[in-house]
């Protein structure tokens, strides 16, 4: 079973572009998409509709948009920080905002990396290739476990 | 002397206000005029034949020996100030003048002495000194209450008064209220203001006239404290400054007594001093009130500005987040069309797609410029000694791709030195200047850019010179404003905000910016920053 990247992203166009860029970048991992913070937390906690761990296995990386309907990316980070089994899950914030206050807050809440989505499609492939090579290939993976 | 007969001389001596005494060289009194009798209290018959030292206080006996020695040596003693004792034992301040008395043959036979009572003069001098001391001490380091207390003590002491009180006018000028007293068992807080025209104080205040009252009957005074204090004589002086009644000064005695013009003069002088002090204190109090009102308003405005600032920050964040997301969709998908569907799109379709991509790129530049500008305006920049060489090197690295694409040549005259700046902001400013220098050249011209610094007093001027198209002089004032564009998009692409960022960044680093330009030849953009040692 290939590694899984969980992408929390509400913008369907962005989802299309990320899919295309991952393909262009030759990323081997597969991707699951959740449309907001509530669904991201439900997926990670293994709650319906994601209760089936075989169908929805834990990811090795969370790509997290910040501004999403219902619970935001910050809310997801805050939730993760308090989950003893999941707090080590490598989390890369992937957002439009380059505001320093957002960057600082994300790191304060335990994000492992903060990337601004490039406008240019070629740059998007470059960034996702880097994420794959660093976090999925180079990085030593921590142990993570679903909440009891 | 030949013209005056003896009788005339005697008459002059007898009618003199000054004591005129003669004595032997050994200090035995030989004559004693009526003024001497009045001054020292001894009749002539009690003093003639007796030593003058009878008048001397014990600690001044040595003065007589000294006088005799000087007279024998042919000298005079002029206006020597000293103290003598009257017959009743009281002390008297006098000024004495001693001269030798010689007989017809010119032999020294005695000493003449003229003594003048200077106690009044000494008192006047002492009052002046005390008033001056009070004046020097105020108003900065002397509180009004301290000033009034020292003035009260001065009046009490010199006029032997039993009570002295300052009353100040209420702000609306309709009454006077006790501000400071001496000699009264008195609680200032318990006394209600006395309306103008009521009681002794009210009448002094209303008439603005110095008023003397003796004997005082209980119906004459409004103040209960004063009524119970057994005061029999009152002197009230209005304190007036530039036609405004500031307050009054009341002096009271438990005995019935006359008041001399000298005493009124003293109270007047103290009163004018107090009037100035009270007036200043009132002014200071109203300044303090205005100041605290202003501070409250500044606080309020600051809170409003902070709120606006927070809203702006939220707005900038929204712009960065929300505007760029759809833009990325347009750009990315149009690019996907160009790249993935080259086979199925005809050339016109591909041109359309490429134009969508270019438009989206320009819009992204504009949004980024806006964000940089707003961030630069809001950022809290800490200035420190910064290497201009390092900043220029970083800026060149940032815009390296553009310079290479335009085949530009940059030459930097090192070392550029140091200035007080904020490194990141300075790099941003320089990157914009270099970008402009490389970008705005005539078609076919390879950009040549020179960078150097000069010291201008306590400032460092960094110049970026180009061989570009230059700027018409009537455009020079508008180019540093954000969103001003001088060129059509087709010719020179840019957000129009680059020089706005330069101007804002330099302004935030306490510097200046300027440009000299010759259309067709090139421009020299310069920034001036405080030198690192300034």
Q: Is B390 exposed, middle or buried (0-12, 13-18, 19+ CB in 10 A)?
A: middle
**Cβ neighbours of residue A73 closer than 8 Å, sequence gap 6 or more:** A8, A37, A64, A65, A66, A67, A93, A95, A106
List chain A residues with CB under 8 Å of B339. Answer: 121
A102 touches chain B (CB under 8 A): yes
Element containing residue B274 per DSSP (H, E): helix B261-318
Per-residue model confidence (pLDDT) at position A64: 96
By percentage, how much of chain A surpasses pLDDT 70?
99
Q: Which of B438, B434, B512, B450 is nearest to B480 (CA)?
A: B512
Q: What is the DSSP string of B483-527?
A: T---S-TTTS---S-HHHHHHHHHHHTT-EEEEEEETTTEEEEEE
Q: Which of B316, B334, B335 is nearest to B324 (CA)?
A: B316
List chain B residues with CB under 8 Å of A125. Answer: none
Closest chain A residue to the Cα of B320, Cα to Cα: A97
Top mean pLDDT of A107-111, A120-124, B14-18, B272-276 is at A107-111
Helix, coil or strand: residue A75: helix
A138 touches chain B (CB under 8 A): no
Per-residue model confidence (pLDDT) at position B141: 46
What average pLDDT score do residues A45-63 get?
92
Cis before B139 (ω within 30): yes
Among candidates B317, B327, B335 on the partner chain, residue whose Cβ is nearest the Cβ of A99: B317
Per-residue model confidence (pLDDT) at position B103: 85
Cβ <8 Å between A97 and B320: yes
Cα separation of A40 and A9, whole Å? 9
Are B252 and B152 within 8 A, CB to CB? no
Residue B274 region by backbone torsions, left for phi larger than 0, else alpha for psi between -120 and 50, else beta: alpha
Closest chain A residue to the Cα of B337, Cα to Cα: A121
**pLDDT per position in chain B (534 positions), as tens?**
456 788 888 888 888 889 999 999 888 999 999 999 999 999 999 999 999 988 999 888 888 888 888 888 888 888 899 999 999 988 889 999 998 888 888 888 888 999 998 887 887 788 777 777 766 655 554 577 888 888 888 888 888 899 898 888 988 888 988 888 888 766 655 568 888 888 888 889 999 989 998 888 877 777 766 777 788 899 999 999 888 899 999 999 999 999 888 888 888 888 888 888 888 888 888 888 889 999 999 999 998 888 887 777 677 767 766 787 888 888 888 888 888 888 898 888 888 888 888 888 888 887 887 778 877 877 778 899 999 999 999 999 989 888 999 899 999 998 999 999 999 999 999 999 999 899 888 888 899 999 999 998 899 999 999 998 888 877 777 777 765 554 544 444 454 678 888 988 999 999 999 998 888 888 999 999 999 876
For residue B212, what are the β-bridge partners?
A: B235
Cα separation of B123 and B130, whole Å? 10
Among candidates A13, A101, A102 on the partner chain, residue whose Cβ is nearest the Cβ of B333: A13
Q: Is B107 exposed, middle or buried (0-12, 13-18, 19+ CB in 10 A)?
A: exposed
Distance between A102 CA and the closest CA of chain B, angstroms: 9
User: Is the ipTM beyond the 0.85 threshold?
Assistant: no
A126 touches chain B (CB under 8 A): no
Cβ <8 Å between A14 and B333: no
Closest chain B residue to the Cα of A98, Cα to Cα: B320
Cα separation of B517 and B515, whole Å? 6
Closest chain A residue to the Cα of B374, Cα to Cα: A99
Among candidates B322, B332, B339 on the partner chain, residue whose Cβ is nearest the Cβ of A17: B332
Cβ <8 Å between A99 and B316: yes
pLDDT per position as a tens digit, A82-106 = 998 899 999 999 998 888 889 999 9
Among candidates B320, B336, B360 on the partner chain, residue whose Cβ is nearest the Cβ of A96: B320
Cβ <8 Å between B321 and A97: yes
Cβ <8 Å between A11 and B336: no
Q: Tokens 């059509």: give the residue.
A: B488
A96 touches chain B (CB under 8 A): yes
Helix, coil or strand: residue B85: strand
Cα separation of B47 and A86, whole Å? 120
Cβ <8 Å between A13 and B329: yes
**Cβ neighbours of residue B104 closer than 8 Å, sequence gap 6 or more:** none
Q: C-alpha distances in angstroms, B301 versus A63, B290, B293, B295, B486?
A: 43, 16, 12, 10, 38
Cα separation of B319 and B370, whole Å? 9
Cβ <8 Å between A96 and B325: yes
The structure tokens listed for B194 are 């006395």
Mean pLDDT of all residues belonging to chain A: 91
pTM of this structure: 0.47
Cβ <8 Å between B364 and A119: yes
List chain B residues with CB under 8 Å of A114. Answer: none
pLDDT per position as a tens digit, A126-137 = 999 999 999 999
Helix, coil or strand: residue B102: strand
pLDDT per position as a tens digit, A1-12 = 789 999 999 988
List chain A residues with CB under 8 Å of B340. Answer: 20
List chain B residues with CB under 8 Å of A124. Answer: 332
Other CB atoms within a 10 A radius of the CB of residue A117 amount to 22
Cβ <8 Å between B361 and A122: no
Cβ <8 Å between B322 and A97: no
List chain B residues with CB under 8 Å of A118. Answer: 328
List chain A residues with CB under 8 Å of B364. Answer: 119
Best of B312, B319, B325 to disrupt the A interface (most A CBs within 10 Å) is B325
List chain B residues with CB under 8 Å of A119. Answer: 324, 327-328, 331-332, 360-361, 364
List chain A residues with CB under 8 Å of B324. Answer: 96, 117, 119
Among candidates B324, B339, B361 on the partner chain, residue whose Cβ is nearest the Cβ of A96: B324
A23 touches chain B (CB under 8 A): no
Distance between B380 CA and the closest CA of chain A, angstroms: 12
Best of B312, B314, B321 to disrupt the A interface (most A CBs within 10 Å) is B321
């Amino acid at each position: 079973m290939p590694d899984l990247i969980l992408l929390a992203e509400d913008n369907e166009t962005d989802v299309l572009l990320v899919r295309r860029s991952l393909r262009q970048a030759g990323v081997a991992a597969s991707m699951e998409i959740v449309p907001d913070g509530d669904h991201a937390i439900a997926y990670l906690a293994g709650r319906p509709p994601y209760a089936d761990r075989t169908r929805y296995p834990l990811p090795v990386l969370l790509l997290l948009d910040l501004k999403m309907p219902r619970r935001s990316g910050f809310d997801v980070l805050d939730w993760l920080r308090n989950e003893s089994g999941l707090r080590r899950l490598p989390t890369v914030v992937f957002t439009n905002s380059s505001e320093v206050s957002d960057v600082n807050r994300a790191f304060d809440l335990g994000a492992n990396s903060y990337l601004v989505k490039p406008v240019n499609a070629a740059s998007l492939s470059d960034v996702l290739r880097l994420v794959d090579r660093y976090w999925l290939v180079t990085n030593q993976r921590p142990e993570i476990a679903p909440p009891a | 002397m030949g013209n005056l007969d003896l009788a005339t001389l005697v008459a002059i001596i007898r009618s003199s206000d000054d004591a005129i005494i003669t004595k032997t060289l050994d200090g035995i009194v030989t004559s004693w005029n009526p003024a001497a009798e009045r001054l020292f209290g001894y009749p002539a018959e009690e003093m003639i034949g007796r030593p003058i030292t009878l008048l001397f206080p014990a600690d001044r006996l040595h003065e007589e020996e000294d006088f005799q020695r000087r007279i024998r040596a042919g000298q005079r003693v002029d206006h020597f100030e000293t103290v003598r004792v009257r017959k009743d034992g009281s002390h008297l301040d006098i000024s004495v003048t001693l001269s030798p008395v010689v007989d017809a043959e010119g032999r020294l036979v005695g000493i003449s002495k003229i003594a003048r009572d200077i106690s009044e003069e000494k008192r006047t001098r002492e009052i002046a000194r005390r008033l001056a001391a009070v004046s020097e001490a105020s108003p900065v380091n002397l509180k009004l209450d301290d000033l009034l207390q020292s003035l009260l003590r001065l009046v009490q002491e010199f006029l032997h008064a039993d009570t002295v009180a300052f009353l100040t006018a209420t702000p609306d000028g309709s009454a006077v209220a006790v501000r400071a007293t001496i000699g009264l068992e008195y609680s200032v807080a318990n006394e209600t203001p006395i309306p103008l025209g009521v009681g002794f104080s009210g009448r002094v205040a209303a008439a603005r006239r110095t008023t003397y009252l003796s004997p005082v009957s209980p119906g004459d005074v409004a103040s209960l404290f004063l009524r119970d204090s057994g005061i029999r004589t009152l002197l009230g002086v209005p304190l007036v400054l530039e036609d405004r009644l500031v307050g009054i000064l009341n002096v009271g005695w438990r005995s019935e007594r006359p008041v001399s013009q000298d005493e009124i003069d003293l109270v007047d002088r103290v009163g004018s001093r107090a009037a100035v002090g009270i007036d200043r204190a009132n002014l200071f109090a109203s300044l303090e009130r205005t100041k605290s009102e202003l501070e409250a308003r500044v606080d309020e405005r600051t809170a409003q500005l902070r709120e606006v600032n927070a809203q702006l920050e939220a707005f900038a964040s929204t712009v960065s987040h929300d505007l760029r997301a759809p833009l990325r969709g347009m750009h990315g998908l149009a690019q996907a069309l160009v790249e993935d569907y080259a086979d199925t799109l005809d050339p016109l379709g591909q041109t359309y797609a490429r134009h969508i991509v270019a438009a989206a790129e320009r819009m992204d530049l504009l949004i980024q410029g806006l964000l940089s500008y707003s961030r630069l305006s809001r950022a809290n920049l800490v200035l420190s000694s910064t290497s201009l060489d390092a900043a220029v090197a970083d800026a060149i690295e940032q815009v390296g791709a553009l310079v290479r694409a335009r085949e530009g040549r940059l030459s930097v005259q090192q070392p550029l030195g140091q200035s007080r700046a904020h490194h990141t902001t300075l790099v941003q400013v320089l990157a914009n200047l270099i970008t402009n220098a490389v970008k705005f050249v005539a078609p076919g011209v390879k950009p040549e850019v020179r960078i150097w610094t000069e010291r201008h007093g306590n400032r460092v001027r960094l110049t970026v010179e180009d061989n570009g198209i230059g700027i018409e002089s009537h455009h020079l004032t508008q180019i540093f404003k954000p969103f001003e564009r001088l060129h059509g998009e087709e010719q020179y692409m840019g957000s129009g905000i680059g020089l706005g960022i330069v101007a804002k960044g330099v302004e935030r680093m306490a510097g200046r910016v300027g440009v000299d330009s010759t259309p067709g030849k090139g421009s020299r953009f310069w920034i001036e920053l405080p030198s690192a040692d300034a």
